[in-house]
A and B are shown apart, each in its own frame.
Chain A
Amino acid sequence: MLDATFAALSDPTRRAIVGYLRNEDMSVGQVVEKFELTQSAISRHLDVLENARLIKRKRVGQRRVCSLSAMPLRELSDWLEAYRIFWNDSLERLDQTIAGKKQ
């Protein structure tokens, strides 16, 4: 799961697409306009991102709109959460250690 996320994000064009979609949903046409690449090249990048479940594409009228899915990106931040536990636990014990020394 995470491998697919990393693989999808190991390409600068796809990272840039994710960057744009963080701010707003965009139609495929709008994404194409941001790059000097053909529509089919962009479509392939969007396929990779969609397969990695980083984005969703839905049809809105005549347009296909891309939006970001938060879940795989959240997995990347699990490390932060783990370290938050690490430091909070440690500092609690530090507090007890210092309090113990004072008595």
Chain B
Amino acid sequence: MTAVTEDVLEIRRVIDASPDAVFDAWTTPELVEAWWGPHGYRTRVIELDAVVGGHFAFQMTAPSGASCPMSGTYTKVERPRRLAFEVAEHCIADVPDDVREPSGPSQVEIRFEANGETTEIVLRQKGLAADYRMLANGGWSQSLERADEVLRRA
């Protein structure tokens, strides 16, 4: 199985606070509401159960007023060093119209690394690019059959 695209996103950022404070900002509903999402978005936390196997569900509102839910499940909760979750439902800003949602879940892992008085956040997200193996089992195979029929007739 050849992976056609490299689909790991890595983001790093230094925050002027302790790992405990930063970790709590990721797992406390009223704090999450203050910062989660791209500029211009508003986020309301419907559910946030930061234990392994616990769910999160955020109701996000885009600047246009469009509703944009985002939800998933926590897979690692190790205060204050590491947090990981699987995103089942993606909400995203500024995606071209012809780009579909990822066809499956993506995995986010965040490490909070103490660095003197500050904390470096290292965030990695995997699985965002479409997974061709899943596509192969989905409606795409029907498109393919139709494409083949067209080619055979050509």
Query: In the complex, A63 Cα to B93 Cα: how many Å?
Result: 46
Q: State the main secondary structure of chain A at its contact with B.
A: helix
Closest to B138 in A: A10
Q: Which residues of B contact A71 (CB under 8 A)?
A: none
Q: Is the CB of A82 within 8 A of B95?
A: yes
B125 interface contact, C-beta 8 A: yes
Q: Which of B1, B5, B16, B121 contacts A73 (CB 8 A)?
A: B5
B9's partner among A2, A4, A51, A84 (CB-CB below 8 A) is A84
Check A6 against B11 for contact (C-beta < 8 Å): no
How far does the alpha carbon of A86 sit from the alpha carbon of B58 in the complex, in Å? Answer: 14
Total interface residues on B, CB under 8 Å, equals 47
Taking a contact as CB atoms under 8 Å apart, the answer to whether A85 and B128 are in contact is no
| Interface assignment of B96: CB less than 8 Å from any CB of chain A | yes
A35 CB–B CB distance under 8 Å: no
Q: Does A78 lie within 8 Å of B99, measured CB to CB?
A: yes
Q: For the complex, give the distance between the alpha carbons of A39 and B147 in Å.
A: 19
- Among residues 90 to 107 in chain B, which have CB atoms less than 8 Å away from a CB atom of chain A? 92-96, 98-100, 102
Give residues 68-86 of A contacting B (CB, 8 Å): 73, 75-80, 82-86
Q: Which of A73, A78, A93, A98 has the most CB of B within 10 A?
A: A98
Whether A48 touches B35, Cβ cut-off 8 Å, given contacts A11-B136, A73-B4, A79-B95, is no
**With A and B bound together, what is the CA distance between A76 and B103 in angstroms?**
11
B16 contact from A11, A82, A89, A99, Cβ within 8 A: A99
Interface digits, B25-40 against A, CB 8 Å rule (1 contact, 0 not)?
Answer: 1000001001111110
- In the assembled complex, 29 residue pairs joining A and B whose CB atoms fall closer than 8 Å, in A order, are A6-B132, A6-B140, A7-B140, A9-B4, A9-B132, A9-B135, A10-B135, A15-B1, A19-B2, A19-B4, A44-B148, A44-B151, A48-B144, A48-B151, A76-B4, A76-B129, A77-B5, A80-B7, A80-B129, A83-B9, A83-B125, A85-B94, A86-B93, A88-B13, A90-B36, A90-B37, A94-B22, A97-B35, A98-B21
